[in-house]
Structure 1
Amino acid sequence: MGLCKFVLVCLCSFFALGYASLNEQYNEALYLENLSNRHTYASFTFEIDKKTNKENGYAFSEPNYQFFPLSLARIMKDQKVMDLHVRATKGRWDYGFWKQPPDNGLQSGGLGFEVWASFIDDQDLEAWYKLTSQLSGLFCFSSNNIDELNTYQPLLSFVPSSFTSSHSRYFASLPQESVCTENLSSLLKFLPCKGEAGIASLIDSHLLFDTDWYSLSIDIAPNHPDDLSSMKLIVKIQTVIDVERTNRRKLGTKFPPPPEFCNDDIANDPLRCLTATYTSSSHTLEDLFHKLPETQCPLSPSKDDILVKNSPSLVVSYPLEMARDISVPVLPEKRPESPVFIERSLTNSGNHWVGIISIFTNPSDEAYSIVYFERLPWYARVYLHTMKITVNDKPISPLEFFQDQVYQPLKDRKAGTMIESRFEIPAHSSVVISYDIEKTTLRLQEYPPDANRGYDLPPSIVSVFGKDDVEICQLRTSALLMFIPTPDFSMPYNVIILTSTVMALTFGGSFNFLTRRIVPISELPKSQKPSLLQRLRSKLKRKDRNST
């Protein structure tokens, strides 16, 4: 009888595993491309497809999961989330040297953390706050601090293809959040093979967080519009590796580079010698990651896990067994440039007023439609009447320039400012948008522990649309650091100490005066009256004082 039960349980487990494998698929790939003879772009992509019967309507309505993380599936199901996107980025993508961003910027974020999601129904903020609190425990970042101060509802940006008016969408960012090893470990736990096999075994946190730019992202979205029965999870880890610095760390050399990297013209200048051009023409996996993958993940059906760009129009795939022989060549041709360049900075830095200026440049022969998404905290008061716009150094009225605009005014200590603007930038043109900001005085308890460091203004998000209103790419500006006048935080302690001392002396003297009983010597009893010897001593002391 016991043997029959054992066989029955094995058969049920086998059929359940087969059923889950039919509804779930897992794939992984590593893409490598040299941005210059010194910098290499590496992208680790892990995809999990989750399908169910269309009669169920929702991919996460079933309890059976093999590859898809159960913790994420429960969150999606409980909060009725249609699509979820999380970004964690450190560094700045150099549009001038590295040109077009990876995946057209659609799967990388700005500085810090970004989270946005769309709900199946018209959910209120309580569902959004529950979602971000649960994500805090999964991804090990402070999304539980997301509240109405940093939550926005964009109407022109991040619009999925299946989005309708019955859905609700929320966005939040934490530019001051640092990306650390705990965030990477959380992502690797979602993978079927973790970091023990496959291309994930190449990821080393020490090397990853020592690169010039890196981004961790998670995207959960439907495979087809208006079809929630088929969902896809994409976990992506992107980085730009400085090969010369990485090899120097591997060899254990000192900070100055070897002398062959510096010619006679700059040999006497240590700074220019340090940034001299790296002369290598190709890079191997050992140069990039200091190790080779040991085994392939058995759950991935693909045998071509490593993709290498060998020419501007050719990407060669390699199996994991050929990892030792893979070489990433340095391409002599220039990479495609971004269709639009954006620069953003602070102006008129003072104690009370400051300005933000954004410069859009279109070097191409085609006009583009731009959606400019700007959000600022409540202590940065935006005055729209100070907005100035110039197109090729010619001033133009904002009412004539903007095709559509969404403005959410700030609420003092309750909500920040959101500005979404849609406009068209002509070919070979430059657009400058500037406006003034008033710095708000904070209360003493509102200052952070590192108040003298400054306050991070989140990066702006620029969506570029081409013909037929198709989104071409998404660009992020650099985050800004705004300084607010801070008081001398030692003064409250000085005031407390001085006040406590004065009150102690005043209270002690008053209490002593009120409670002490004063009695004349003549009324003292004989036992307490001074003796003859004591009276003589007191008289002698008085004579000595008078004589001196």
Structure 2
Amino acid sequence: VDKAWKELSNILSGIFCASLNFIDSTNTVTPTASFKPLGLANGTDHHLLRYAVLPREVVCTENLTPWKKLLPCGSKAGLAVLLKAERLFHSSYHSQAVHIRPICRDASCLAVSWELRQSLTVVFDTFSSSQGKKDWSLFKMFSRTLTDACPLASQSKVYVDISPKNKEKELLEVTPPPASVYEAIVQGDKRTYAVYDLLSPSLFNTSRSLNVQLKWKRPQDSSELPTPILHAQRYVSGYGLQTGEISTLIYNTHPYRAFPVILLETVPWYLRLYVHTLTIITKGKENKPSYIHYQPAQDRRRPHLLEMLIQLPASSVTKITIQFERALLKWTEYTPDPNHGFYVSSSVLSALVPSVIAMKDVDVEQSPLFTSLFPSSDGSSYFVRLYTEPLLVNLPTPDFSMPYNVICLTCTVVAVCYGSFYNLLTRTFHVEEPSRGGLAKWLANIIRKFRGVPPL
């Protein structure tokens, strides 16, 4: 399995021009409860599962180009024409993913096919870029408009969230008017969407391009976004370069429902965890996990792995802390910018969050798009996987300028001493006898005689 995992990471690194070839045993773990294979390989044998994170690497333009080439029409037609690199990477948040899983080709499952799903998530801060206005359009965000659909696509739709907030539905104006409006339950909340079908012939009859615009009929104040039921944050505390503490805060804002959550922590080997200092506090009381799995790290071989099943009471904040000690690396193991710090991968939270609004089975069958993006087990809950922010930890760093200074000083001393000694050994000395002089000396003596100076 480890050999196949290494080959897969190298292949994906070449396909997407990414640094996935840096995945090795030092950042790979085998989770037991947080993840499981999808598709036909859905099983419980966690020994065949691998999970790795490179928190230092970021997505860049050279990763977007091969990602777009996997699309049926590339970036020539359809929704992909909006994927302009200079606009996407100018956003507040950008993420792209590729999911591959085996599925049945028909109902009898006599043949197996591989499903490739690509997703792109972009967050634009239009409120700041538009000088305090909430109005937006496709052209303002992507500098392009939609001209046609991909000929190879069976579905090509644009969904615009026009859900009313505090009875403000009449204040929104979407142009051009949508052909249909769709309502769905997304993560426990009822949402309303304006739908634009790019495969509809009537969409491009009035104009050659589609530029969806959302305008407010009167200026709006910046209102706070609703707080999700499950959210978390993570930080490092402590002082000095010897010990520290990792703290994770998990929030359950549901007014009356408690639910369990699975926490996955992956910590590099150079942060040596003190497992006996692990504490879980909820509402001032100790919260014992129902399940805990810990795999200690091995220096330069594998990281720490900690998985816990924690019950979150309603309207509560759960604080998880664990102390660690910083290790001293070899001078060849430091990054080119060691004073910037070392990154620790994000924690992973997996939970079935109870829904405020129940979803009917008929709604699940009629909305395959939203059920694939926001899966739910039944009408009373939906599955959520959260990733906290990565951590930046400083390690004891030697003075890398000292070897340079020693080399320069040593080379200078050797060059001066050896050069002088070699010059004395190899130089040839000649004794020159003084010349008797001539006409010049005779003229000089005459001049000196007139001036009263002794002759030469």
Is residue 307 from structure 1 mapped to residue 194 from structure 2 by the alignment?
no
- 3-state SS of the aligned residue for 2:332? helix
The letter of the residue matching 2:160 is V
Provide the residue aligned with 1:218 in structure 2. Answer: 98
CA distance in 1, matches of 2:113, 2:51: 24
Paired residues of 2:37 and 2:49 also in contact (CA < 8 A): no
Distance 1:510 1:299, change over 3 A: same
Correspondent of 2:242 among 352, 355, 374: 352
1:317 aligns with 2:195: yes
| 2:36 and 2:46 in contact (8 A); partners too | no
Q: Distance in 2 between matches of 1:393 and 1:160?
A: 37
Q: Contact 1:387–1:433 at 8 Å: present in 2 too? A: yes
Match of 1:481 in 2: 392
Checking the alignment, whether the CA contact within 8 Å between 1:367 and 1:427 is kept in structure 2 is: yes
Q: Is contact 1:222–1:231 with CA below 8 Å preserved after alignment?
A: yes
- Decide which of 62, 77, 81 is 1:182's aligned counterpart: 62
Q: Does structure 1 residue 287 correspond to structure 2 residue 173?
A: no
Amino acid at match of 1:241: F
Equivalent residue for 1:164, pick from 36, 41, 44:
44
* Pairwise CA distance, 1:166: 7.9
Whether the aligned pair in 2 keeps the contact of 1:246 and 1:287 (CA below 8 Å) is no
Change (3 A) 1:226 1:417: farther
The C-alpha deviation readout for 1:82-139, integer Å capped at 9, x for no partner, is xxxxxxxxxxxxxxxxxxxxxxxxxxxxxxxxxxxxxxxxxx2111000000000111
The answer to whether structure 1 residue 143 and structure 2 residue 29 are counterparts is no
Q: What is the rounded CA distance, in whole Å, between the counterparts of 1:511 and 1:380 in structure 2?
A: 53
Alignment of 1:389-400 (within 5 A): 389-395=280-286
**Distance in 2 of aligned mates of 1:195 and 1:373:** 37
Q: 1:334 to 1:451 in 2, by over 3 A?
A: closer
> Are residues 462 and 495 of structure 1, via their aligned partners in 2, closer, same or farther at CA, if it must alter by over 3 Å?
same
CA contact (8 A) 1:341 1:362 kept: yes
Provide the secondary structure at the position in 1 that maps to 2:3. Answer: helix
Question: In structure 2, how many angstroms separate the alpha carbons of the residues matched to 1:530 and 1:287?
Answer: 89
Pick the aligned partner of 1:362 from 224, 246, 252. 252
Contact 1:207 1:246 in 2 (8 A): no
Aligned position for 1:404:
291
Equivalent in the alignment of 1:326: 212
Structure-1 residue corresponding to 2:403: 492
Q: Give distance in 1, aligned partners of 2:77 and 2:210.
A: 16
Listed one character per residue, the Cα deviations across residues 312-346 of structure 1 (whole Å, up to 9, x for unaligned) are 43223212335636344679998764322212111
Paired with 1:219 and 1:181, the residues of 2 have a C-alpha distance of: 20
Match status 1:382 vs 2:259: no
**Residue 151 of structure 2, aligned match among 274, 298, 313:** 298
Residue 343 of structure 2 contacts residue 391 of structure 2 at CA under 8 Å; is this kept in 1? Answer: yes
Deviates more, 1:321-330 or 1:372-381: 321-330
Bigger relative CO (Cα 8 Å, ≥ 6 apart): 1
325 and 293 in structure 1: CA distance in 2 versus 1, 3 angstrom threshold: closer
2: distance between equivalents of 1:375 and 1:236?
25
Query: SS of the counterpart of 1:351?
Result: coil
Does the Cα contact within 8 Å between 2:147 and 2:210 map onto a contact in 1?
A: no
Q: TM-score, normalised by structure 1?
A: 0.60
Q: Alignment RMSD, CA only? A: 3.3
What SS does structure 2 have at the residue aligned with 1:459?
coil
Find the residue that maps to 1:446 and give its secondary structure. Answer: coil
What's the CA shift for 1:349?
A: 3.0
The question of 1:431 aligning with 2:283 is answered: no
For residue 117 of structure 2, what is the aligned residue in structure 1? 234
Matches of 2:312 and 2:210 in 1, distance apart? 47
Percent identical pairs in the alignment equals 32
Instruction: Give how far 1:495 is off.
Output: 1.4
- Alignment size in residue pairs: 365
Q: How far 1:491 moved relative to its partner?
A: 0.5
Shift of 1:167: 6.0
Q: Pairwise mapping of residues 239-258 of structure 1 onto structure 2 (< 5 A)?
A: 239-246=122-129, 257=131
SS of aligned partner of 1:174: coil
Matched with 1:539 is: none
Which has more helix, going by share of residues? 1
Q: Indicate conservation of the 8 Å contact 1:405/1:422, yes or no.
A: yes
Structure 2, gaps ≥5 residues long: 164-189, 355-376, 436-456
| Equivalent position SS for 2:9 | helix
Between the aligned partners of 2:213 and 2:416, the Cα distance in structure 1 is 80
SS where residue 239 of structure 2 aligns? coil
Q: Which runs of 5+ in 1 are unaligned?
A: 1-123, 248-256, 258-277, 517-527, 535-548
Is the counterpart of residue 415 in structure 1 residue 302 in structure 2? yes
Residues 89-128 of structure 1: matches in 2 within 5 Å? 124-128=1-5
Is structure 2 residue 252 aligned with structure 1 residue 341?
no
Q: Distance in 2 between matches of 1:175 and 1:529?
A: 72
Deviations 1:8-40 (A, max 9, x none): xxxxxxxxxxxxxxxxxxxxxxxxxxxxxxxxx
**Other structure's SS at 2:26 match:** coil
Whole-Å separation in 1 of the counterparts to 2:123 and 2:300 = 39
Amino acid at match of 2:154: P
